[in-house]
């Protein structure tokens, strides 16, 4: 099965870096990033509505790519690969939690 590389660009990459507090992505991958809505909301307030809207669009695009099971996905930035359905589900859960936090932060 072919592998597709995910690019995580600003402003979404800035949000993820801001929320990286459990460890560092180079070590723990997506487990290093907190999806706490309060922390994401803080980033939203600091980044502003334009950046939040762009990050939400970027996330929607990434989720669409990850949901397509015709290929494996990987991301150097996130330090994550989807060699199996469990890893794909973990990535989708992470991206969905970020999207939920950004949507809530966008409303405040």
pLDDT value of position 108: 59
pLDDT value of position 1: 81
Residue 75 has pLDDT above 80, yes or no: yes
Residue 24 has pLDDT above 70, yes or no: yes
Residue 57 has pLDDT above 90, yes or no: yes
Longest distance between any two alpha carbons in the chain, whole Å: 42
Provide the edge-to-edge strand list for the sheet that holds 72-75: 3-5, 72-75, 80-81
Euclidean distance between CA atoms 83 and 13, whole angstroms = 23
Residue 78 has pLDDT above 70, yes or no: yes
Do 44 and 102 touch, CB atoms closer than 8 A? Answer: yes
> Model confidence over 30-48: pLDDT tens digits?
999 999 999 999 999 999 9
């Amino acid at each position: 099965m072919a592998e597709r590389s995910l690019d995580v660009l600003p402003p979404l990459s800035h949000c993820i870096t801001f929320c990286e507090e459990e460890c560092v992505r180079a070590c723990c991958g997506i487990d290093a990033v907190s999806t706490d809505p309060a922390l994401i909301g803080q980033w939203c307030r600091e980044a502003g509505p334009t950046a939040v809207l762009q990050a939400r669009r970027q996330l929607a695009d990434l989720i669409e790519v990850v949901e397509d099971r015709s290929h494996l996905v990987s991301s150097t930035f996130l330090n994550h690969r989807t060699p199996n359905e469990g890893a794909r589900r973990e990535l989708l859960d992470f991206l969905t939690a970020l999207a939920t936090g950004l949507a809530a932060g966008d409303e405040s």
